[in-house]
């Protein structure tokens, strides 16, 4: 089955630690995205990538970093510089086809600072 796999489902981070969230897709999509979701707020874009080895900052990139070394993978690192990292993180992908612009989402990673 084609889809987007995020891991882990739950992640706990200690103060001052960096943690990496995994996102893998087998849909052959060119574009991939990371969103953050907080209670009562819409999804906010952290980073996106339209092609391998290229990515752009979204609206709330501070304290986060990404890489896109393979088409299928777009990992997100939450660094110690992110002051309020507790949130639900969602990865998405889309085909970049102008006739089919819709994005499809993984099941999310819930990150908690302990």
Partner 1 sequence: EDQVTQSPEALRLQEGESSSLNCSYTVSGLRGLFWYRQDPGKGPEFLFTLYSAGEEKEKERLKATLTKKESFLHITAPKPEDSATYLCAVQAISPKLSFGAGTTVTVRA
Radius of gyration for the alpha carbons in the chain, expressed in angstroms and rounded: 13
DSSP annotation of 17: -
Q: How far is the CB of 16 from partner 1 (least distance, A)?
A: 28
Where along the sequence are the contacts to partner 1 (CB under 8 A)?
4, 6, 31, 33, 35, 40-45, 48, 50, 58, 90, 92, 94, 96, 98, 101-108, 110
Please say whether the beta carbons of 56 and 66 come within 8 A. no
**Alpha-carbon distance 89 to 108, whole Å?**
5
Complex with partner 1: residue 16 or 40, whichever CB lies closer? 40
Shortest distance (Å) from residue 80 CB to partner 1: 26
């Amino acid at each position: 089955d084609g889809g987007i796999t995020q891991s882990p489902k739950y992640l706990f981070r200690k103060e001052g630690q960096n943690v990496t969230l995994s996102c893998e897709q087998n849909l052959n999509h060119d574009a991939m995205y990371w969103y953050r979701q907080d209670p009562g707020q819409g999804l906010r874009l952290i980073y996106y990538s339209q092609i391998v080895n290229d990515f752009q900052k979204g609206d709330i990139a501070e304290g986060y970093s990404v890489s896109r070394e393979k088409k299928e993978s777009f990992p997100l690192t939450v660094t110690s510089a992110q002051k309020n990292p507790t949130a639900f993180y969602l990865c998405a992908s889309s085909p970049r086809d102008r006739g089919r612009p819709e994005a499809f989402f993984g099941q999310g990673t819930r990150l908690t600072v302990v």
